[in-house]
Amino acid sequence: MALHITPQLRRHLLIQNSLFVVLLVIVAALLAYLAHEFRIEKDVTRTARNSLSAMTLDTLRQMDGPIHVTAYALRQDSNGSDIHRQIGERLRPYRKAYPQLTLELVDPREHPRRVAAAGLRSPNALVVEYWSRSEQLSLAEFDEQNFANLLMRLLRGADTRVYVIEGHGERRIDGLANHDLGDFGRQLAGKGFRPLSLNTGIVQEIPDDAGLVILTHPQTDWQPAEVDKLLRYIERGGSLLWLIDTEPLRGLQPIAEKLGLVLTPGVIVDPAMPPRSGPPVYALAAAYARHPTVGALRFNTLFPQARQIGADDSLGWRVTPLIDVAPRGWVEMSKLTASPAFDKASDLPGPVNIASAFERSVNDREQRVVVIGNGHFLSNTFLGNAGNLALGIGLLNWLSGSDRLVAIDSRSDAHEPLALSPLRLYTTAALLFIVLPLGFAITGFLRWWRRRHAV
């Protein structure tokens, strides 16, 4: 018996369908309102690359006042994109993490006087103000790393002068050679330090405005008068980072004696880190001392051809061993071969300390010195390995007295791109653009057909 559709039934069906559509529209409107008012986000990427890094969040937690960001940019670009909206979206994670960060959007065409007063170095830029300090960042360079470095410079307050000694074949802070520290110097400049070269053979004294001095291993002998300048700097309470390689000290023995260093010859061998060729002289550090310098470090660090660092703590210094390496290795005291073996009679078993912190009070001020038995780890060749950069920045933050910045380090931004073979790519495209739409169309047609011929 066929279903007889009367005019009354048609009205009831029309009212029912209309009510369903109205309720559906109301539910959709409520969901849209809730989505606009309340935002829930979760970053499911393996490296959390869509979230603020720990370095940025740590920097924001150190801030203790309002941050005002003024964005100078056209409202729309030539393609019609809403630039102001894009800037707001890019700064939204920062504002969520730090509610005292405010944003003001300025179109240069509408406010030319403000643009002139701001003294912009580029036509589209961010001007970030924190207390009485301000920094500019071009929109073309606006990414998380550059913005975090900008915040760190504002937090530091003023450029800390870092004098890197040269004149004896040391590693150059602006050098491009593999053994130089040019990449590290650029990182320091981005984080509020001011790295400067200093030739002790020319200056009368190490300047009093030195935040700290970096001393790397010389290739020629120091003159006694130069050593005296460095000794006087230490006597005044100056901070020092000394990177000692396995070569002779070349006249720097008085500095070692001043600190009470005990330097054993030989190079550290770590069989757990065998290279592709040559002896295993790459030492990996995974555990660090409970000390502000390295206690918050979250990465492994790599030290090629490191040497042991010991110290006599009877000279008035508080000495803290910082980094142990090669727990299954040793200090090779004989000539190094491609396949060295531990000799109980002469070699020193691991673990081996390769870095120590020295502290004491001088003129009511805390003096800080760090000695590391390796200079390669900050060189252009090895700076990008593991947490070497984070360790270097942390050391300089502590030595310069910026203790609250020591825990701020960078994260690895490595991620794996999605790579599909041609077969999988074509299969996925066919499924999304052919099979699924065709399946929906057939399903809809069959449902309509059944209703049309319902008995």
**Assigned domain for 90 exists:** yes
Q: Are 140 and 168 found together in one domain?
A: no
Q: Are 84 and 216 found together in one domain?
A: no
**Assigned domain for 431 exists:** no
* Confidence at residue 41, expressed as pLDDT on a 0 to 100 scale: 67
* Residue 54 clears pLDDT 80, i.e. is over it: no
Q: Of the residues 153, 171, 199, which one is the last residue of a structural domain?
A: 153
Give the up-direction half-sphere exposure of residue 58: CA atoms within 13 A in the CB hemisphere: 17
How many domains, the chain?
2
Q: Where are the beta strands (DSSP E) in 89-159?
A: 101-106, 125-130, 133-138
**Assigned domain for 367 exists:** yes
* Confidence at residue 348, expressed as pLDDT on a 0 to 100 scale: 92
Q: State which amino acid sits at residue 443.
A: T
**Assigned domain for 451 exists:** no
* Confidence at residue 206, expressed as pLDDT on a 0 to 100 scale: 94
Q: Of the residues 131, 153, 175, which one is the last residue of a structural domain?
A: 153
3-class state of residue 175 by DSSP? coil
* Residue 341 clears pLDDT 90, i.e. is over it: no
Residue pLDDT, tens place only, 381-413: 999 888 899 899 999 989 988 766 665 554 444
* Confidence at residue 162, expressed as pLDDT on a 0 to 100 scale: 94
- pLDDT: which is higher, 332 or 297: 332
Q: Are 99 and 191 found together in one domain?
A: no
* Confidence at residue 350, expressed as pLDDT on a 0 to 100 scale: 84
Question: What is the spatial distance between Cα 65 and Cα 129, in angstroms, rounded to a whole number?
Answer: 10
Which residues constitute the domain of residue 233? Answer: 159-405
Q: State which amino acid sits at residue 9.
A: L
> Among residues 373, 353, 372, 359, which one has the least CA distance to residue 401?
359
50 strand-pairing partners: none
Contact 413, 45 (CB under 8 A): no
* Confidence at residue 414, expressed as pLDDT on a 0 to 100 scale: 43
Residue 261 has phi, psi (to 5 degrees) of -70, 140
* Confidence at residue 416, expressed as pLDDT on a 0 to 100 scale: 47
Q: Of the residues 153, 180, 201, which one is the last residue of a structural domain?
A: 153
List b or e across 187-222, with b for residues whose CB sees 16 or more CB atoms inside 10 angstroms. bbbbbbbebbebebeeeeebeeebbbbbbbbbeeeb
> Among residues 148, 147, 192, which one has the least CA distance to residue 55?
148
Lowest mean pLDDT among 20-24, 126-130, 220-224, 243-247: 20-24
**Assigned domain for 316 exists:** yes
The domain that contains 77 carries what CATH number? 3.40.30.10
Confidence of residue 415 (pLDDT cuts 50, 70, 90): very low
Residue pLDDT, tens place only, 120-173: 877 889 999 998 888 889 998 898 888 888 888 888 776 789 999 999 999 999
Mean pLDDT of 220-241: 95
Q: Who's near 124: CB < 8 A, 6+ residues apart? A: 72, 73, 74, 83, 138, 139, 140
Q: Are 146 and 222 found together in one domain?
A: no
Q: Are 285 and 329 found together in one domain?
A: yes
Q: Are 247 and 364 found together in one domain?
A: yes
Q: Who's near 363: CB < 8 A, 6+ residues apart? A: 236, 237
* Residue 326 clears pLDDT 80, i.e. is over it: yes
Q: Who's near 231: CB < 8 A, 6+ residues apart? A: 254, 255, 258
Strand 125-130 and strand 67-72: the pairing is: antiparallel
Q: Are 123 and 165 found together in one domain?
A: no
The domain that contains 355 carries what CATH number? 3.40.50.880
Contact 38, 73 (CB under 8 A): no
Q: Are 218 and 363 found together in one domain?
A: yes
Q: Are 225 and 287 found together in one domain?
A: yes
Mean pLDDT is highest, among 17-21, 133-137, 372-376, for 372-376
Q: Who's near 202: CB < 8 A, 6+ residues apart? A: 167
371 strand-pairing partners: 242, 356
3-class state of residue 391 by DSSP? helix
Q: What is the pTM of this model?
A: 0.70
* Residue 3 clears pLDDT 60, i.e. is over it: no
**Assigned domain for 437 exists:** no
Residue pLDDT, tens place only, 257-271: 999 999 988 999 998
Q: Are 216 and 351 found together in one domain?
A: yes
**Assigned domain for 411 exists:** no
Mean pLDDT of 22-39: 84
Q: Are 247 and 144 found together in one domain?
A: no
Q: Are 163 and 146 found together in one domain?
A: no
Strand 348-349 and strand 330-332: the pairing is: antiparallel
Mean pLDDT is highest, among 15-19, 74-78, 394-398, 429-433, for 394-398
